[in-house]
A = this chain, B = another copy of it.
Amino acid sequence: MFNSVTIVGVGLISGSFSLALKEKGLAKNIIGVSRTQTSISKALELGIIDEGLPIEEAVKKSDLIYVAIPVDVTVPVMKQIMDMVTDKQIVADAGSTKNALCTALKDHPMRTRFVATHPMWGTEYSGPEAAVRDAFIGRACVICEKEKSDPHAVNTIESVYRQLGMHIIYMDADSHDLHAAYVSHISHITSFALANTVLEKEKEEDAIFEMASAGFESTVRLAKSNPAMWIPIFMQNKDNVLDVLNEHISQLRKFKSCLEKENYEYLAELIENANKIQKIIK
């Protein structure tokens, strides 16, 4: 159990992490760090944090510092934190990209105190109000560059995630970013683009609103996601995301060509192939 945990960022992931730590009795005191006082007040009100402090004071008081802010800001903030920590403290992040951060920290003298993690859980909402109880359960948590972290620090973090109901998978940062492009980043782009398609062409908003069924909602719900979080992810993972996006456009063109040419045999093949996804997601 931690005496004191700092969450940097008081939003969807850090807030849900904090609620889960409290629920499991894993932290006596949780400190919130945020650039905006409104978020701190909201997080206090929602019982996500016990106090709000400036980053220097918060880090000094904490056994664990958990960083969950947009991945572009993560790099400088994490450097600032790493410059402050002692070998009694553990630092972890929850970012959706891992390569940029791991590269930025690779030569830091305190590198062993850092554990690079990506809990594969999220929703389309953001901010302290988006934090939910019982997040993370049944999902995977990726840990990157395990060998560069202190074994005790890794074990501690793994134990926390496991108590939150996650299972751990290990990966190097490059592989993580590649796979994340497929299983997460592209889904967000297709949702954003689908929302724009409908908003562009379908002028009768009432018709969408009235007719939208569960299928539409599920494919488009990620389009509500926060640009402040997602633009830095796409930026940092640009090459992988572009590869996947090019492939996706070419897959869509196959559907287009089938329809134009009324080639229904090939359309059946495409759909039957897509059905194979049921082997992978239940």
Contact = CB atoms under 8 A, between A and B. Distances in A.
Contact of A213 (B184, B235, B246, B252): B184
Counting contact residues on chain A (CB < 8 A from B), the size range is: 35 or more
A212 B169 CA distance: 12
A271 B121 contact: no
Interface string A231-248: 100110010011111111
Contacts of A249: 249, 252-253, 256
Contact of A235 (B180, B182, B193, B262): B262
Given A187-B194, A274-B193, A216 B281 contact: yes
A46 interface: no
A260 B276 contact: no
Given A192-B270, A194-B190, A270-B196, A211 B142 contact: yes
A231 B267 contact: yes
Interface in A140-192: 140, 142, 169, 171, 175, 179-180, 182-184, 186-192
Interface of A is mostly: helix
A7 to B, nearest CB: 21
Contacts of A227: 267-268, 271-272, 275
Contacts of A175: 207
Nearest to A194: B190
A224 interface: yes
Interface in A251-282: 251-256, 259-260, 262, 264, 267-268, 270-281
A205 interface: yes
Nearest to A140: B210
12 contacts: A180-B211, A182-B197, A183-B202, A183-B211, A187-B194, A189-B252, A191-B274, A196-B270, A198-B277, A218-B218, A218-B221, A231-B267
